[in-house]
A and B are shown apart, each in its own frame.
Chain A
Amino acid sequence: MDDSVAGVYLPDRRTRWARPLILCRVPAGFPSPAEDYVEGRIDLNRDLIKHPLSTFYIRVSGDSMVGAGIMPGALLVVDRAVEAYDGHIVVARINDELCVKRLSMGDDGRIWLLSENEHYRPIEITEEMEFEVWGRVIYSISTH
């Protein structure tokens, strides 16, 4: 009998894979039908945030975006890496202030920031304003 060791291999432990432990006893001969299907659990950090380096969280205090489902107190997930176009919800800088609005870019080249609440007027971006899209709102989280 040859019992010499052909090689020693160290486990590669760079990745983490949390798996639910199966604690029920498995009777011999009847393995759990789920056993082959056990997989990693849903991790919102990994699944929702595509660009961790450029993703920031921002809290909303006002009600100007309730029509878009962004309630006062909602937590916005804002990604600076993705480009924002017509119709996207953005965090924008107008002069000295950051705000959350829907971006509207007309064919005539005019840019508007729209609220989703009839009590707020649309804001047209004009030459003399300092304007910048800070980031695009990719999710908003509210308590229910």
Chain B
Amino acid sequence: MTEAFALVDCNNFYVSCERVFDAGLAGKPVVVLSNNDGCVVARSPEAKALGIGMGVPLFKIRHLVEAHGVKVYSSNYALYGDMSQRVMGVLQSFTPDVEIYSIDEAFMQLAVRPHGDSPVPRAPGREIRERVRHDTGVPVTVGIAETKTLAKLANHLAKNSKKAGGVLDLTDSPYREVALERTPVEEVWGIGTAYAKLLRQKGIRTALQLRDVDVAWARRAMTVVGARVVLELRGVSCLPLESCPPSKKSLTCSRTFGRSTSSLPDLREAVACYATRVAEKLRRARLAAGVVTVFVHTDRFSQGAQYFNAGTHTLAYPTDSTHEIMRCALDALERIFRAGFDYRKAGVMLNSLSPADQLTLRMFGDERAERFRQVLLTVDQLNRKWGRDTVRFATANPVGNWRTKIERRSPRYTTRLGEVLTIN
């Protein structure tokens, strides 16, 4: 029994989630917009066929939307997050060795049945695909190979091939060379634009050519990262499964406002909300922050006067308390705010993160801070149980008129009882 990696990737994930609950969307062009209904972040194959690109702002495709009846949705992150957990849960029923790589992608480590005379596929790629589709309604593509880099490549090829039927297993496959030859070098996982340019200058255009370069040269030209890519393409696994994600370097909560505002009270409300949100994330990750940064900017698409600024506040001791983070954020906001500009976006970023369990090692054991921390952890529990913002700071008004636009959001079918799908 040997091991192989599978990369499981949900097809047009956000669109697929909408389609599970709205049978009328099958076969129709559908797009999902980014936060604040700005740009296209997911497209159905029919929308791609109309020439709608990734990241295009809605106003640039208005004519296509009207001419072809494209269905346009706001992002419904409550739904996508829940459906993602369901998909990942089904994958974990095959093996506990699952690395959740993003909301719609996961690596799995699979046992491969020994090589025999039987022509049946050896890794359960098709079973995985069918089970996820059956149990959750979400279609996925599966790429399987000896290394993560090859699995990613196999997945990419499977996605673009009708014949593959959503699954491509390259372990010990006679098609391996063809697959590598058909993959342009810039599409190899880990090769960014800079390395792709360098490789093309050297005449290396395909993944196959990259596989056959001298590893020592790759190491000199592209550091250890490049050398690893070459080895991985040869089937030598250098990138293990990362079941626990590496600890985060920074946490951010930022949004574009539903409409511009020039008022400091509006900005204070927004920043207080984002500070609350990011502090919740911080406590969920059991981290504490040493540096709080606030940024604001005007609408870069507008004709009006432009202003961008960020303010940073360094704390004497790391903290995970909403009130401390909020106070730093509001202080920084007062410092960078300039009257007379129409602000369109603000955010709060936390840096210099450390594990929260070291908080108790504060030099002067601060009993009041510790008591307040318990209050906040209780508030988190209440909000988890009864819904977001059940208990909140008065400054953080979540229904302020700066609120993000979500005009075309579908119902939160799986997370709100009042919004479940209704049928006849």
State whether these chains interact.
Answer: yes
Name A residues whose Cβ lies closer than 8 Å to a Cβ of B: 51-54, 56-62, 64, 75, 80-81, 91, 93, 95-100, 130, 134
B417 proximity list for chain A (CB < 8 A)? 57
B424 proximity list for chain A (CB < 8 A)? 60-62, 64, 97, 99-100
- Pick the contact of A96: B24, B89, B414, B423 (CB < 8 A): B24
Distance, CA A51 to CA B134, complexed state (A): 13
Instruction: Specify the chain A residue showing the minimal Cβ separation from B90.
Output: A53
CB-CB under 8 A for A97 and B86, given A60-B424, A80-B135: no
- Pick the contact of B420: A51, A59, A95 (CB < 8 A): A59
**Chain B interfacial residues counted at CB < 8 A:** 19
Instruction: Specify the chain A residue showing the minimal Cβ separation from B414.
Output: A56
Distance, CA A130 to CA B413, complexed state (A): 23
CB <8 Å contact, A80 and B421: no
- Pick the contact of A59: B86, B89, B423 (CB < 8 A): B423
Q: At the interface, yes or no: B422 with Cβ under 8 Å from chain A? A: yes
Instruction: Specify the chain B residue showing the minimal Cβ separation from A64.
Output: B424
CB <8 Å contact, A58 and B420: yes
7 contacts between A and B (CB under 8 A): A52-B89, A53-B93, A53-B136, A56-B420, A57-B414, A96-B23, A98-B421
Instruction: Specify the chain B residue showing the minimal Cβ separation from A58.
Output: B421
- Pick the contact of A81: B135, B414, B422, B423 (CB < 8 A): B135
Name B residues whose Cβ lies closer than 8 Å to a Cβ of A: 23-24, 26, 86, 89-90, 93, 134-137, 413-414, 417, 420-424
Distance, CA A52 to CA B85, complexed state (A): 11
* Most chain A beta-carbon neighbours within 10 Å: one of B136, B414, B424: B424
Distance, CA A60 to CA B421, complexed state (A): 8
B90 proximity list for chain A (CB < 8 A)? 53-54
* Most chain B beta-carbon neighbours within 10 Å: one of A64, A81, A95, A100: A81
Instruction: Specify the chain A residue showing the minimal Cβ separation from B136.
Output: A54
| CB of A68 to closest CB in B, whole Å | 14
B134 proximity list for chain A (CB < 8 A)? 54, 80-81
CB <8 Å contact, B136 and A130: no
- Pick the contact of B421: A54, A59, A81, A95 (CB < 8 A): A59
Given contact pairs A58-B421, A58-B422, A80-B134, a sample of 6 additional A-B residue pairs in the complex whose CB atoms are under 8 Å apart: A53-B135, A59-B423, A60-B422, A93-B23, A97-B423, A98-B423
CB-CB under 8 A for A54 and B135, given A93-B23, A95-B23, A98-B23: yes
Q: Which 9 A-B pairs have the closest CB atoms?
A: A54-B135, A62-B424, A96-B24, A53-B89, A59-B422, A98-B423, A93-B23, A53-B86, A57-B420
Distance, CA A91 to CA B21, complexed state (A): 11
| CB of B46 to closest CB in A, whole Å | 15
A64 proximity list for chain B (CB < 8 A)? 424
Distance, CA A62 to CA B422, complexed state (A): 9
